[in-house]
Structure 1
Amino acid sequence: MSNIHSTAIVDPAARIDGTVTVGPYAVIGPHVSIAARTSIGPHCVIEGHTTIGEDNKIFQFASLGGVPQDKKYAGEPTRLEIGSRNTIREFCTFNLGTAQDRGVTSIGDDNWIMAYVHIAHDCVVGNQAILANNVALAGHVQLGDWVIVGGLTGVHQYSRIGAHAMIGFSSRISQDIPPFMMAEGNPLAVRGLNVEGLRRRGFSAQRIAAIKQAHRVLYRQGLTLEAAIGALGSLIDEHPEAAADISGLRDFVAASQRGIAR
């Protein structure tokens, strides 16, 4: 294949579409599958049972599909799955899953992942997320769609960040961040609602107003968490235009195992 550089080392068993480009000195292992029009930069290492979708741009020195940084890992054939149209910048490290969890680390579609980002075993990253430089996700972390995480932020294992949330620069995430919220700091705190982000994504004024009311219930009325969950349930019928938004927020909070940042 003329679009694989002569210095690249590609295992013959790897499944690579004929439109994929592979840069100098890249190394691709036998259990790797790469779909159409993805570009692999110089010196990338892609190993393990790794599946990569279409139209991804993977920059130089990325390391994808390495074994988990987990002492319990014993060579199980766990996986890394990366969707389509992602940008993955220099020196990113994405690890395989572990048998103790779902066995797969997954990254969705259309994500913008900047340099030196680490995504550990069994993480789930949704679609349209932005992870700035030096973000580190510990094992089992979950990020919803459209999440933005500021640079130099660390996320504790098993933490969740809900859809449309925004995390400020250099934050320490050790609790769940509900959908739509803006949070930052060490110690961590929710500072408000990601209103501008919702506007940019086409949320109507009515939907945003309903989500603002849900935010007030959760953060401004001094309710216990149990009472706030009940009050959010009541808002669903009052705001049919935002029923799915409020229901998703309520369900996220109710399912929290680590507790939510408040």
Structure 2
Amino acid sequence: MAIHSTAIVDPQAKIAADVEIGAYSIIGPNVEIGAGCWIGPHVVIEGHTTLGKNNRVFQFCSLGAAPQDKKYAGEPTRLEIGDNNTIREFCTFNLGTSQDVGVTRVGNDNWIMAYVHLAHDCQVGNHTIFANNATLAGHVHIGDWVILGGFTSVHQFSVVGDHAMTAFASAVTQDVPPFVMAAGNRAVPAGINSEGLKRRGFTPDAIRAIKNAYKALYRQGLPYEEAKAVVLQAASEQEAMEPFVRFFAASARGIIR
């Protein structure tokens, strides 16, 4: 291990043999760091925190600190981070709480820019991009391939579906369906990210079906439950729309309108 002489690493921490840890970083006793990880200078990783393989954590990050929740009483809750994530400067990821599943999770291949905050019990998928200062309140669920614009704020218990995207300084107070672009304070729907879907290999037929789903939800004046039924019926016929099935099963706050 390439551990700087000024770093403080608890002897009980489980650190893979090739991990690099920069100057003045602090690693607590219940931390596990997998192979190929690089931990920059002045990073604090504490709590019951696990990092998978090949993660890069830049300076001044705080991972695994106690949740900002007055009900938290020191329970051994967790922070779990997957593989191949980039976590830039001054990010703060908190532990989970016993009021939820007890785990804050970050998946694989995520690109998380400076000053991002993930509150307790957030669940973040794979291949996401969080621009600078994006902030998730507690219990937020973020799907795969989501892009959050800089200074986006997401209300607690909200769900953001796969392939959704928010504009700069969006204030998300209700759930954002898959594939939908959201913008504004408060955030409202602003179409779908067709170009992004093309780049990810979606076929013209799939993109057409997703556009029709967007129209059913937002353009045809249908009541929510009726629009939802139309979209779920289309999802049963078009595999690419499967994220709608999972989204509607999880959504509880109502969708942005």
Measured against the shorter chain, the TM-score band is over 0.9
Give 1:255 deviation, angstroms. Answer: 4.1
Using the size of structure 2 for normalisation, the TM-score is 0.97
What residue ranges of structure 1 are gaps of 5+ in the alignment?
none
Q: Equivalent residue for 2:256?
A: 261
d(CA) in 2 for partners of 1:233, 1:129 = 25
User: Does residue 159 in structure 1 map to residue 154 in structure 2?
Assistant: no
Give 1:252 deviation, angstroms. Answer: 1.9
Contact 2:143 2:163 (8 Å CA) reproduced:
yes
Name segments (4+ residues, structure 1) moved above 4 Å. Answer: none
Give the SS at the match of 2:3.
coil
Give 1:214 deviation, angstroms. Answer: 1.1
Give 1:118 deviation, angstroms. Answer: 0.3
Amino acid at match of 1:260: I
User: Does residue 35 in structure 1 map to residue 30 in structure 2?
Assistant: no
Give the SS at the match of 1:235.
helix
Q: Equivalent residue for 1:89?
A: 88
d(CA) in 2 for partners of 1:88, 1:236 = 34
Give 1:251 deviation, angstroms. Answer: 4.7
Q: Equivalent residue for 1:205?
A: 204
Q: Equivalent residue for 1:146?
A: 145
What do the CA deviations read for 1:163-212 (whole angstroms, capped 9, x no partner)?
00000000101000000000010121001011111011010111111111
d(CA) in 2 for partners of 1:154, 1:35 = 31
Contact 2:113 2:130 (8 Å CA) reproduced:
yes
What residue ranges of structure 2 are gaps of 5+ in the alignment?
none
d(CA) in 2 for partners of 1:255, 1:58 = 31
Contact 1:229 1:250 (8 Å CA) reproduced:
no
Give 1:253 deviation, angstroms. Answer: 3.3
What do the CA deviations read for 1:79-98 (whole angstroms, capped 9, x no partner)?
00000000000000000000
Q: Equivalent residue for 1:252?
A: 247
What do the CA deviations read for 1:90-149 (whole angstroms, capped 9, x no partner)?
000000000110000000000000000000000000000000000110000010000000
Number of residue equivalences: 257
Trace 1:124-203 onto structure 2 (pairs within 5 A): 124-203=123-202
Contact 2:161 2:243 (8 Å CA) reproduced:
no
d(CA) in 1 for partners of 2:246, 2:33 = 36
Give the SS at the match of 2:75.
coil
Using the size of structure 1 for normalisation, the TM-score is 0.95
Amino acid at match of 1:211: I
Relative to structure 1, the CA distance from residue 251 to residue 108 in structure 2 (aligned partners, 3 Å threshold; closer, same or farther) is closer
d(CA) in 1 for partners of 2:249, 2:101 = 22
d(CA) in 2 for partners of 1:261, 1:89 = 30
Contact 1:229 1:254 (8 Å CA) reproduced:
no
d(CA) in 1 for partners of 2:13, 2:232 = 50
Contact 1:14 1:30 (8 Å CA) reproduced:
yes
Amino acid at match of 1:258: R
d(CA) in 2 for partners of 1:9, 1:236 = 52
Contact 1:253 1:260 (8 Å CA) reproduced:
no
Relative to structure 1, the CA distance from residue 93 to residue 209 in structure 2 (aligned partners, 3 Å threshold; closer, same or farther) is same
Give the SS at the match of 1:182.
strand
Structure 1 vs Structure 2: percent identity of aligned residues?
A: 61
